Structure 1
Amino acid sequence: MISDATGYEPITGKVVIVEDDALMQSILVDMFMDLGADCEAFVTADDALIHLMQSRTVCALLVTDYTLPGQLDGRELACMVRQRWPEMPVIVTTGYGSEVGKDLPPGVAFLQKPWSIDLMVNTASGLMSGFSTP
């Protein structure tokens, strides 16, 4: 995905990706793995939340689509994550309009699709620069 990752800061730790589009999910996983992250990918926010609550590893970053199948959408997942793990960096993406970004909790980054790899990596790096695992 990223043919030469030397221009980017490494992204380490576990990145949880929630994306129901298989191609977009694959792009995100490949991109973050190329930068050094360990990725877990889910199709629904419900499954991702269960994983986060059961995991013994602190998640370094959550990237979620806004519109997802299941009970929870990406906004609800972002709200729950910010309540339970307020220091966890969160990025919400969508192709359905920038007004979605106005409805997110403080500290959650919003990226309108289609985003560039540079924008995603720089946003993730910026959010994670203040993140530390206990």
Structure 2
Amino acid sequence: MRNLRTEAASGRPPVILVVDDEAIVRLLAVEAIEEAGYTAVQAEDAEDALRLLDARQIDAIFTDIRMPGPMDGLALAAHVRARCPDMPILLTSGHRQEDCASATAGVLFLQKPYRAATLIATLAALLDARSTVSR
């Protein structure tokens, strides 16, 4: 279920950064992403995510909103948006989307619990939209 248009443009499967402080939730997302043919890297909080963003090529971010520490998923999304305005970002939370409203224009939201197929379809759409815009 790879997004072949995106892969063909870069010559490698897209790399998705999964950020969630709950290990089992993070691992289930990583497993679904890898089974779909993407490369997944993981971080347990926003600070780890920023270090990974500095260290390697990341093509999209899938992050929980509510995480411990000085920076939650909304702050992470805003920080990434400021640094890389075209980075596809998908937020998730067990709380209603309205409860998670922020100044993160262009960021999609996926309600927990979600199905793996919905996660993959949403990420594929985000990556496809990015590859269409960059052409």
Identical aligned pairs, as a percentage?
Answer: 30
For structure 1, list consecutive stretches of 5 or more residues without a partner in the other structure.
Answer: 1-7
For structure 2, list consecutive stretches of 5 or more residues without a partner in the other structure.
Answer: 5-12
- TM-score of the aligned structures, taking structure 2 as reference length: 0.83
Q: In the alignment, does 2:49 pair up with 1:67?
A: no
Deviations 1:65-115 (A, max 9, x none): 001122110000001111111111000100122223422511100111111
Kept in 2, the 8 Å contact 1:43–1:69? The answer is no
Kept in 1, the 8 Å contact 2:88–2:130? The answer is yes
Q: Say if 1:115 and 1:44 are closer, same or farther in 2 by CA, change over 3 A.
A: same
* Residue pairs, 1:1-134, within 5 angstroms: 8-10=1-3, 12-55=13-56, 57=57, 59-132=58-131
C-alpha separation between the residues in 1 aligned to 2:20 and 2:128?
24
RMSD between aligned alpha carbons? 1.7
C-alpha separation between the residues in 2 aligned to 1:9 and 1:75?
28
Q: How many residues align?
A: 124
- TM-score of the aligned structures, taking structure 1 as reference length: 0.84
